[in-house]
Structure 1
Amino acid sequence: MIFLLAFLFAQTGSFATVNGLHMYYEIHGAGQPLVLIHGGGSTIQTSFGRILPALTKDHEVIAVELQAHGHSDNRDGRPTTFEQDADDVAALLQRLHIGKADIFGFSNGGTTAFQIAIRHPELVRRLVIASSMYKRGGSPPAFWAGFAHATLDQMPKVYQEAFLKIRPDSSALQTMFEQDRQRMEHFKDIPDSVIASIQAPALIMMGDKDVITPEHAVEMYRRLPHARLAIFPGGHGAYIGEVMSGDAAPALPVIEEFLNAQ
C-alpha cells in the first residue's frame, strides 16, 4: 500500500534537453534541494518510491531518470557511463538554476553521485551514497563474473514491468539492460586519492547482506574526509524500502538527520 501511494504521488514530471538527452525529472516539495539518482535498470519509483513522500517534507526533491532508463530517451545510443550521467545531472541542475544541492545516489546512482562530487564539486552540499562502490574490490569476484553472460531474463521481473509500464517497448528494455550490463562488466576503479579529495560531508549506507562488502563501506567511510557510516540489517536497498524489499525504510531517520544537520 505504501508503494502504491508513492507511485500515485509521482505520476507527472517534466523533460529537459541536457547534453543531447531528453531527461525526465520530477520536482516535489520545498526546501533544500535534494537530488535522487536511481540504481541500474531502475526508475525513480523502484528505487525511491517508498521514501520519496517523506523526503519532500523538508526538501525540494529533484528525482531524475538517467539515459535509457524510465521515461528518458537513449540520446544517440552511445554507451552509458557514470561520468556522462554525472554531467547530465549537473546540466539539469544548471538548467533549473539550482546552485547547490544534496545528492542521494542508490547503487549505480551512488557511483554517479561520486562522479558529480568529483566533476562538479561546486554543486554538492552533502552526499548520500547508498549500496554503492567506487572500486571493483568493493564486491566479491562472483558479482563481477556474472555480468559477462548476463541476459535480460535474469533481470528481476519487477524492474522489467516497471520499465514497460512507462515505455511499452521491449527493444528499449533490452537496450537499457545491455548498456547497464556492459557498463558494469567494464567498471573502472576511481582512484583512492580522488575519493579522498571529496570535501562534501557524506553518509555511506548499506545492508549487511548487500552486494557491497561491509569492508568496502568502511573503506569509503575512512577514505572520505567528512563521512558517516550506517550499516543496516538486510540486503541491497532494503533499508530504504527499495521495490525488491518490504515496506519498511529504517534508514529514513538517519538520512533526515544527516541532511538536516547544520
Structure 2
Amino acid sequence: MYYEIHGTGQPLVLLPGALSGIGSAFGKLIPLLARTRQVIAVELQGYGHTADIADRPLSYECYAEDTAALLEHLRLKQVDILGYSSGAGTALQVAIRYPHLVQKLVLCSVTYTSSGIYPEMRAGIEELTPEFLAGSPYEQEYLQSAPRPQDWPQLVAKAKAFNKQVQEWPAADVKGIQSPVLLIAGDSDLVCPEHIAEIFRLLGGGQPGDLLGLPTSQMAILPGTTHMELTARTDLLMAIIPPFLDAPMPARKV
C-alpha cells in the first residue's frame, strides 16, 4: 500500500477518489497543506503505485480496513482525515468503524446513499471503459505509476463494478459520528447539494446558529466548481480547511 509523507505537524491523511492517484487528486493541495501539517497521502487498492488484489473486489469496507491498518503500521493513534469522492466515503467508514482513530474529518463530495448522486451521473457509469478514459489524466497517471500498467483495463472494470454497487448506509451511523466534520462540495458537483445538506443535518447542522449556537460540523458549497475541479480550487479550500482543522476540539457528545 503506497503512501507519501510531506511536512511536519499534526497528521492529516489524504484519501483520493476512484481511479485517482495522489497527483491527480491532491497535487495542487499537498504543498499548501504540508506547510503546517504532516500530510500522509495514500493510494488505495489498485490505484497509482498500489497494486490491485486479484480476488478482492473494491469496496468502502476494505478501503476503511486498509486505512486503519496503515495508521496502525505508522503507529498513529489519532489523525485528521481528508477524503475526496470515494475517498470521502472511505473516511466516513473509518469514522464509523474506527472512531478512536479519527480526530476531524474533511469530506469532499461525499455520499452515504446512492440517491445522493445525480441520476444521469449514475447512468454514466455504464460508459466507464478503458476506451472512454483513453488519454485522461487518470489513465496517464496510472500508466506512469502503477506496478503493472497492463492492469488498467481490469482496474477500470473493477472500478465500474464498485461504482455500480448500491450504497445504503444507515443514517444512524452517520448521525452517531463524534468527530467534527467539514463537508465540502461543488455547486455543480456529481453529488446533489440537497444530499450534502442532508448529511449536515444528520451531523447536527441546519439550525439557526444565532439562537441555538453553532454545530461542531460545517458545510461549504464551492461556487462555480465541478466534481473534477474541486480539489484544484486551492484558493477556496485553503480559506476553509486550515481554520476548521486548527480550531480547538469541542467536547465530545454524551
Q: TM-score, normalised by structure 2?
A: 0.88
Cα offset, 1:137, TM superposition? 1.3
- Equivalent residue for 2:251? none
TM-superposed CA distance for 1:28, in Å, is 1.1
Shift of 1:64: 0.5
Alpha-carbon distance in 2 for matches of 1:187, 1:115: 15
Q: Residue 173 of structure 2 aligns to which amino acid in structure 1?
A: V
Q: Does 1:232 align with 2:232?
A: no
RMSD across aligned positions (CA) = 1.5
Equivalent residues of 1:239, 1:250 under 8 A apart: no
Structure-1 residue corresponding to 2:41:
63
- In structure 1, what is the Cα distance between the partners aligned to 2:166 and 2:67? 20
The correspondence for 1:222, drawn from 181, 201, 204, is 201
3-state DSSP class of the match of 1:34? strand
Query: Paired residue for 1:252?
Result: 238
TM (normalized to structure 1)? 0.86
Alignment size in residue pairs:
235
Q: Deviations over 1:157-191 (max 9, x none)?
A: 11100110113745311122111110110132111
Q: Percent identity?
A: 37
Aligned mates of 2:172, 2:62 — CA distance in 1: 21
Per-residue displacement from partner, 1:219-247 (whole Å, max 9, x unpaired)?
Answer: 11111143200001111152420xxxxx7
Match of 1:73 among 51, 59, 83: 51
Mean Cα deviation higher: 143-152 or 114-123: 143-152
| Aligned pair partner of 2:89 in 108, 111, 125 | 111
Q: Superposition pairs for residues 93-242 of structure 1, below 5 Å?
A: 93-155=71-133, 157-167=136-146, 169-225=148-204, 226-233=216-223, 234-241=225-232
- Give the 3 Å change call, closer, same or farther, for CA 84–132 of structure 1 in structure 2: same
The letter of the residue matching 2:35 is K
Once the two structures are superposed, residues 63-108 of structure 1 have per-residue CA deviations (whole angstroms, 9 ceiling, x without a partner) of 1000000000113431011010011010000011000000100011
Write out per-residue CA displacement over residues 105-137 of structure 1, whole angstroms, 9 at most, x where no aligned residue. Answer: 001100000000011100000000001211111
Q: Deviations over 1:23-43 (max 9, x none)?
A: 000111111110000010000
Distance, in Å, in 1 between the alignment partners of 2:238 and 2:132 is 30
Q: Any unmatched runs of 5+ in structure 1?
A: 1-22, 242-246
- Structure 2 runs not aligned, ≥5 long: 205-215, 249-254
The code of the aligned residue for 2:227 comes to: H
Q: Name the aligned partner's letter for residue 98 of structure 1.
A: L
2:63 to 78, 82, 85: 85
Q: Distance in 1 between matches of 2:39 and 2:245?
A: 12
- What is the CA distance between 1:206 and its match in structure 2? 0.5
Tell me if structure 2 keeps the 8 A contact 1:28–1:61.
Answer: yes
